[in-house]
């Protein structure tokens, strides 16, 4: 097992507001990690900063690379396709990915597309929210990298699609790769997680082994997560 | 890391498709205009050329605007900025592809203008010769016309590049600057920021251009060609400075639109 | 069978239990090959690492025998499976016993009730 991600003394402000402070985090390879926190806690920001589309102070190392452009070659982040007009055919977007990412595995994409029932002859405008999300996830998982960042992949998705997506994550996750899944609703993914990382009060509140929480505290992950907030209000 | 070749292919394809759409509209517009003149009974040998030339200006402007919108959007979207490629390469490829797309439109326009001119070519040559006979040497000869055309083309190339580097600088400065503005009323704040940035950038660029012109005047007030080359080089230096500044902004301050 | 996890109990333990039960009930026979880790992970909807952990525990307990390059096999040692069965019965009885004891039933009463229950239940099933 090796270190896939190392974040040291990261600070980030946006529009005069501190979003993340003194973040330190190390993730090992081969894990599925839940990134938990309330809406607006900074989960998306942390992911954006890791990929390099947002800039923070501090050091970020992904698979040994610190330089932004090189780092981008080791991280696959969900791109919500805002750059493409609604009339764009999915085929064209797949082609875009295939051209632009040397690590894009078209066979894996085709398998995922079949498994998730994605019709790539459609236009972007013809997709429901759930189908678009599936398409984005298929694209994201089809790159062969060390670190995958899935930002709220189940947002607004029905339970059947959710199951499909969870299964595709289990099925297609490369053995040594680490997947970070952010979510503000824990219970839907808790059985899937090796570890959880909670962002609270602009920093990493805790980083724990999921089964260790169950073993030591006899709590389910959701209760544990909620207990962090109760403790917070007691102290105030 | 993504190679220049692959990145180029993607950006070129995108812009090429866009300008081809513009050109398609151009052809339709010319056809409709000619038909209209035909119906009105004003059709002459000259009509094709007149219609094509008058549309060509509008089309060039439209193509420029479309390319510019795409050009700027590329800096701020995850789909592009997640690509593992260095910022300098990113910037240069974007500029190069925009330029090629626009040059392509210019060349196509030139060709259709020339083609429609041939319909009535003899008449234009006759009137040109007539003018020469009447006004003598005050009317330029063919050599001078060609060199005037080439220098015009060079000026146009340089001005387009300068326009894009300036627009990008304004856009990126504003995006970077908005990170330091308060959350409240972010729309109004962004608008004001744009106004301020545009004002400052235009003032600074204007000042630099003046500097270029004055200094080249000092160096070479005797030789026209030499002065022209210095102007052009001076403009390109201004562009290069803007580009360098933009790349710095991209690498440190400019963030993409958050889509989630 | 679809496994529904109780999120209060470590997932690897639940997977281990699930597999143990399949072996005891004979759904997976002694000497049979287990599906690959990833297949099992998909089957129970859990993480590959968690499944691996459950399997490691079972290997430690010798219920599963790994064969290099071929995968995991259920032990052919029927004795061991028998022990596993006894352990499971033990666990279930311990649970019932403790709960009934908490309700102040005596040992004799518990036995009587249980015999009666099995008799009725048997009649019901026939």
> What's the average model confidence in pLDDT over C93-122?
88
Q: Is A44 left (phi over 0), alpha (psi -120 to 50) or beta?
A: alpha
Average pLDDT, chain B: 88
Say if C107 falls within a structural domain: yes
**pLDDT value at residue A156:** 73
Give residue A50's Cα distance to chain centre: 11
pLDDT digits (tens, 9 = 90+) for B58-84: 999 999 999 999 999 999 999 999 999
**pLDDT value at residue B128:** 76
Say if C5 falls within a structural domain: no
Q: Is C9 on the interface with A (CB under 8 A)?
A: yes
**Is ipTM beyond 0.90?**
yes
* Residue of A134, A192, A189 whose CA lies nearest to A164: A134
For B260, name the nearest residue in chain A, comparing CA atoms only.
A80
Say if C42 falls within a structural domain: yes
For B186, name the nearest residue in chain A, comparing CA atoms only.
A15
Question: Looking at the predicted structure, is the pLDDT value of residue B38 above 60?
Answer: yes
Taking the C-alpha atoms of residue A187 and residue C5, their distance in angstroms, rounded to an integer, is 11
**pLDDT value at residue B96:** 97
Contact at CB, A53 and B2, closer than 8 angstroms: no
For B177, name the nearest residue in chain A, comparing CA atoms only.
A15
Contact at CB, A175 and C48, closer than 8 angstroms: yes
Average pLDDT, chain C: 88
Which range has the worst mean pLDDT, A155-159, B23-27, B111-115, B198-202? A155-159
How many C-beta atoms surround the C-beta of residue B112 within 10 A?
21
Q: Which residue has the tokens 């352990």?
A: C87
- Are C59 and C16 members of one domain? yes
> How sure is the predictor about B117, in pLDDT bands with cuts at 50, 70 and 90?
confident
**pLDDT value at residue C91:** 87
Say if C6 falls within a structural domain: no
**pLDDT value at residue A185:** 79
Determine the residue among C3, C4, C7 to mutate to test chain A binding: the one whose Cβ has the most chain A Cβ atoms within 10 Å. C7
Of C38, C47, C53, the CB nearest to A192: C47
Which positions in chain A touch C7 (Cβ < 8 Å)? 187, 190-191, 214, 220-222
Please report all neighbours of B, defined by 3+ CB atom pairs within 8 A: A
Question: Looking at the predicted structure, is the pLDDT value of residue B222 above 70?
Answer: no
3-class DSSP state for residue A76? Answer: strand
Say if C55 falls within a structural domain: yes
Go through the domains of chain A in sequence order and give each one's CATH number.
3-81+145-235 (3.40.50.300)
Pairing of strands A178-183, A32-36: parallel
Of A31, A163, A211, the CB nearest to C11: A211
* Residue of C77, C88, C91 whose CA lies nearest to C19: C88
pLDDT digits (tens, 9 = 90+) for B127-161: 877 777 777 666 666 777 788 888 888 988 999 99
- Are C84 and C117 members of one domain? yes
> What's the average model confidence in pLDDT over B225-239?
86
Residue B217's contacts (CB-CB under 8 Å, 6 or more residues apart) are B227
Share of chain B above pLDDT 70, in %: 94
- Are C15 and C46 members of one domain? yes
Taking the C-alpha atoms of residue A20 and residue A17, their distance in angstroms, rounded to an integer, is 9
- Are C65 and C31 members of one domain? yes
Contact at CB, A190 and C7, closer than 8 angstroms: yes
Contact at CB, B84 and A73, closer than 8 angstroms: yes
Taking the C-alpha atoms of residue B58 and residue B63, their distance in angstroms, rounded to an integer, is 9
Share of chain A above pLDDT 90, in %: 75
Domain that holds residue C98: 79-125
Contact at CB, C49 and A163, closer than 8 angstroms: no
**pLDDT value at residue B7:** 97
**H helix or E strand, kind and range, residue A125:** none
3-class DSSP state for residue B106? Answer: helix
pLDDT digits (tens, 9 = 90+) for B43-58: 787 888 888 989 999 9
> What's the average model confidence in pLDDT over B230-247?
93
**pLDDT value at residue A205:** 93
Contact at CB, C45 and A166, closer than 8 angstroms: yes
Q: Which of residues 163-222 of A touch B (CB under 8 A)?
A: none
CA distance A186 to chain C (A): 11
- Are C18 and C66 members of one domain? yes
> What's the average model confidence in pLDDT over B7-29?
95
Determine the residue among A164, A214, A215 to mutate to test chain C binding: the one whose Cβ has the most chain C Cβ atoms within 10 Å. A214
**pLDDT value at residue C126:** 59
Question: Looking at the predicted structure, is the pLDDT value of residue C20 above 70?
Answer: yes
Alpha carbon distance, N-terminus to C-terminus of chain C: 25
For residue C34, CA distances in Å to B112, C6, C83 come to: 72, 24, 20
- Are C37 and C25 members of one domain? yes
pLDDT digits (tens, 9 = 90+) for B173-216: 999 998 888 877 778 888 999 999 999 999 998 888 888 877 77
Say if C2 falls within a structural domain: no
Which range has the worst mean pLDDT, B11-15, B95-99, B115-119, B216-220? B216-220
Both structure tokens of A135? 């398409």
Contact at CB, C8 and A220, closer than 8 angstroms: yes
Of A14, A73, A82, the CB nearest to B259: A82
C-beta separation of A147 from A4 below 8 A: yes
> How sure is the predictor about B218, in pLDDT bands with cuts at 50, 70 and 90?
low
Say if C3 falls within a structural domain: no
- Are C69 and C38 members of one domain? yes
pLDDT of chain A along its 236 residues, tens only? 689 999 999 999 988 889 999 999 999 999 999 999 998 899 999 999 999 999 999 999 999 999 999 999 999 999 999 899 999 999 999 999 999 999 999 999 999 999 999 999 999 999 998 899 999 999 999 999 999 999 999 887 888 888 888 988 998 899 899 999 998 778 888 889 999 999 999 999 999 999 999 999 988 899 999 999 886 554 44
pLDDT digits (tens, 9 = 90+) for C43-65: 898 999 999 999 999 999 999 99
**pLDDT value at residue B136:** 66
Alpha carbon distance, N-terminus to C-terminus of chain A: 40
Contact at CB, B10 and A53, closer than 8 angstroms: no
**pLDDT value at residue B120:** 77
Of B7, B83, B186, the CB nearest to A72: B83
- Are C41 and C95 members of one domain? no
- Indicate which CATH number applies to the domain containing C25: 1.10.10.10
- Are C19 and C45 members of one domain? yes
Determine the residue among A15, A52, A92, A157 to mutate to test chain B binding: the one whose Cβ has the most chain B Cβ atoms within 10 Å. A15
Give residue B63's Cα distance to chain centre: 9
């Amino acid at each position: 097992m090796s270190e896939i991600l190392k974040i040291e003394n990261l600070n980030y402000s946006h529009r005069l507001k501190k979003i993340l402070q003194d973040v330190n985090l190390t993730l090992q390879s081969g894990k599925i990690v839940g990134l938990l926190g309330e809406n607006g806690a900074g989960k998306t920001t942390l992911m954006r900063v890791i990929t390099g589309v947002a800039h923070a102070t501090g050091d970020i190392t992904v698979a040994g690379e610190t330089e932004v452009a090189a780092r981008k070659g080791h991280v696959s982040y969900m791109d919500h396709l805002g750059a493409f007009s609604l009339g764009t055919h999915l085929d064209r977007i797949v082609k875009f990915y295939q051209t632009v990412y040397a690590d894009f595995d078209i066979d894996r994409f085709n398998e995922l597309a079949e498994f998730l029932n994605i019709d790539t002859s459609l236009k972007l405008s013809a997709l429901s929210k759930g189908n678009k999300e599936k398409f984005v996830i298929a694209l994201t998982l089809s790159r062969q990298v060390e670190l995958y960042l899935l930002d709220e992949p189940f947002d607004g998705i029905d339970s059947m699609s959710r199951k499909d997506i969870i299964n595709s994550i289990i099925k297609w996750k490369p053995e040594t790769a680490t997947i970070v899944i952010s979510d503000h609703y824990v219970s839907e993914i808790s059985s899937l997680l090796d570890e959880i990382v909670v962002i609270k009060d602009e920093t990493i509140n805790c980083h724990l082994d999921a089964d260790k929480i169950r073993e030591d505290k006899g709590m389910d992950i959701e209760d544990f997560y909620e207990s962090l907030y109760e403790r917070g209000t007691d102290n105030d | 890391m993504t190679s220049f070749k692959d990145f180029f292919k993607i950006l070129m394809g995108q812009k090429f498709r866009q300008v081809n759409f513009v050109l398609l509209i151009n052809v339709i517009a010319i056809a409709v205009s000619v038909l209209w003149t035909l119906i009105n009974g004003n059709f002459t040998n000259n009509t094709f050329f007149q219609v094509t030339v008058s549309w060509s200006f509008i089309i060039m402007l439209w193509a420029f605007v479309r390319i510019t919108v795409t050009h700027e959007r590329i800096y701020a979207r995850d789909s592009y900025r997640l690509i593992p490629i260095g910022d300098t390469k990113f910037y240069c490829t974007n500029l190069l592809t925009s330029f090629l797309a626009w040059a392509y439109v210019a060349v196509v326009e030139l060709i259709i203008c020339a083609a429609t001119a041939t319909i009535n070519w003899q008449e234009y040559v006759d009137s040109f010769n007539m003018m020469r006979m009447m006004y003598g040497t005050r009317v330029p000869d063919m050599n001078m016309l060609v060199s005037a055309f080439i220098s015009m083309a060079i000026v146009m190339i340089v001005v387009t590049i300068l326009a894009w580097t300036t627009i990008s600088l304004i856009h990126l400065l504003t995006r970077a600057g908005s990170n330091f503005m308060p959350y409240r009323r972010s729309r109004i704040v962004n608008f004001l920021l744009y106004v301020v940035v545009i004002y400052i950038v235009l003032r600074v660029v204007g000042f630099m251009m003046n500097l270029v012109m004055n200094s080249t005047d000092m160096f070479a007030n005797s030789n026209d060609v030499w002065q022209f080359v210095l102007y052009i080089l001076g403009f390109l230096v201004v562009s290069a400075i803007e580009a360098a500044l933009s790349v710095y902004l991209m690498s440190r301050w400019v963030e993409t639109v958050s889509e989630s | 069978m679809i496994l529904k996890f109780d999120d209060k109990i470590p997932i690897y333990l639940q997977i281990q239990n699930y597999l143990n039960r399949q072996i005891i009930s004979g759904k997976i026979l002694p000497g049979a090959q287990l599906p690959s880790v990833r297949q099992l992970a998909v089957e129970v909807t859990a993480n590959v690492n968690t499944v691996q952990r459950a399997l490691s525990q079972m290997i430690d307990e010798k219920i599963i025998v790994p064969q290099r390059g071929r995968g995991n096999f259920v032990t052919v040692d029927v004795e061991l499976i028998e022990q596993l069965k006894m352990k499971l019965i033990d666990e279930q009885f311990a649970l019932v016993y403790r709960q009934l004891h908490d309700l102040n039933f005596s040992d004799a009463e518990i036995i009587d009730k249980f015999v009666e229950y099995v008799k009725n239940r048997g009649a019901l099933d026939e």
